[in-house]
Structure 1
Amino acid sequence: MQYNETELKTIANAPMMAGMAISLVDLGIVSTAIEAAALGKEFVGVAKKYPNNSLIQTVFSEENFKSGVIKPEKPEITPEEVQSGALVDRAIASISEAITILTDRATPEEIQEYKQFIYGCGEAVAEAAGSGLFGSGSPKVSEKEALALSRLKTALAI
């Protein structure tokens, strides 16, 4: 599978946007930092989690990260997008764009695992920190996060 640099970035951006959308539906200074670390951990571990998925091995290879082809970048996000829920819509649009690129170039199994990875990013973020000042409270997954995860799951058809 060969992807150009723009396609690689689009495919890599979708799970990043999903994780960030979940993180920002329920803002907290400490919890957001904990959630960012959880998202990073998902990216670092994806190649090991899906060792037989050539799509994931190609896009999320250590080589692509080291060379800077895949460089997780924080997208510009407005407070209005966060408050209105439009950030989740933006993440879903990003996912749709990535899936469109993959439709004729990856196997259905590879795409399904990629979708699971995207959802896993959102889920890891939601479960990383709870309520309260330092993110150590209960429940871990807020109502807003649960709703956003549900929207992601529906969009991913998983």
Structure 2
Amino acid sequence: MKSPATLLTAAYDKAKSGGWIEFQDLLLNLSCDDDTLPPDYVLPQIPQLTKESLKSLDFDVDFPDRLPLELERAGFVNVRREVFKVPVGAWPPNEKMRYFGLMAREVLVELLRPLASKPFQSLGIPQSDLNAIISEAEYAFDHIDYHIYVEFGIVYAQKP
């Protein structure tokens, strides 16, 4: 988002008293809690590359972290933030979580391709390196021994 304050002001002005607003965002991180992902793997670098590249294109990548405070500044009340760990890939033993993992995998793979076209290139990364990063990420997402997850954030608030 290039102008979050404008969006929040407009949302506040348009909302009826007692109305709610909700934001959902795939947070810019990939993690592994159980050390199943090798420490030298490129995957943890992707969120940092994403942030750096989007910042270079004037996107406010820190906005999701500030959103609750910004909603309060805009006048909203009952501001809540929830963050959920969503598996990536087919590794979870639970059928429902495996389904979520497969959907998250598709979203992330489809997101990496456009990121590698303009945003990552804005950092001066050679196309051959970008192709290697994408290939390694796809391999990790498909490897059931790598227990990778991404965080999904939801922020909601009410107009008084």
Point out the structure with the larger helix share: 1
Higher radius of gyration, 1 or 2: 2
Point out the structure with the larger strand share: 2
TM-score of the aligned structures, taking structure 1 as reference length: 0.32
TM-score of the aligned structures, taking structure 2 as reference length: 0.32
